[in-house]
Amino acid sequence: MRSIWVLFIAVFFISCQDVEEIKKPANLIPEDKMVDVLTDLSILNSAKNYNRSLLEETGIQPDKYLFEKYQIDSLQLAESTGYYAKKYDILDDIYAKVKVNLETKKEEYETLRDEERKKDDSIRALKTTKDTLVKDDFSADSTIIERRLPQPMRRDIQIE
């Protein structure tokens, strides 16, 4: 029993150490920009997981695209992520904004997808209607032509 108390006291003193304050990196990505970077990073990672072969075929390099778009490099992203990871309240706010951004983009893409489907359905319906009209016109024309042909040329009469 005494060893449990000794262990408990040791853990208590170790856990009460001064936590080293992380230094703010010189090239820290600002919070608002970090939100945008993490939003795009989430989308790019999803795209990679969804259809990696398409990205490879088109030659798109998601990481390179992200770094060029936001004028950052991998070290700056890593240092900023490490810094914000130690600042839980800030990181929580950042990820809450990222979540809102992703939900907003999802709604926008769903709206676009629905509009595209409506267009496709309209085009398909018009095409079907046009095909039906063409078939009806053709069959009507062929009936008229058969009626005008002399008796031996009609299709329904068999010549022996």
pLDDT band at 123 (very low <50, low <70, confident <90, very high): confident
Kindly state the DSSP code that residue 59 receives in the 8-state scheme: T
Chain centre to alpha carbon of residue 32 = 21
Provide the Cα torsion 129, 134, 140, 146; round to 10°.
-150
For 32-42, what is the mean pLDDT? 95
Record the pTM.
0.62
Q: pLDDT value at position 122?
A: 84
Domain ranges of the chain: 24-151
Q: Is the pLDDT score of 26 beyond 80?
A: yes
The two structure tokens encoding residue 112? 């676009």
At 29, phi and psi to the nearest 5?
Answer: -75, 125
The two structure tokens encoding residue 16? 């009460």
- Calpha distance 107→56 (Å, rounded): 27
- Calpha distance 116→20 (Å, rounded): 54
For 123-140, what is the mean pLDDT? 66
Please answer whether residues 44 and 62 qualify as being in contact, where contact means their C-beta atoms are separated by less than 8 angstroms.
Answer: yes
- Token pair 């856990």 is found at 15
- Enumerate the H helices of the chain as residue ranges: 2-15, 31-50, 52-58, 62-70, 74-86, 88-148
Q: Is the pLDDT score of 95 beyond 80?
A: yes
Provide the Cα torsion 107, 110, 112, 117; round to 10°.
-160
For the stretch 39-91, pLDDT in tens is 999 998 888 888 888 877 888 788 898 999 999 999 999 999 999 999 989 99
- Token pair 């032509």 is found at 145
Q: pLDDT value at position 55?
A: 77
pLDDT band at 99 (very low <50, low <70, confident <90, very high): very high
For 121-146, what is the mean pLDDT? 64
Please answer whether residues 119 and 126 qualify as being in contact, where contact means their C-beta atoms are separated by less than 8 angstroms.
Answer: no
- Indicate the length of the chain as a whole number: 160
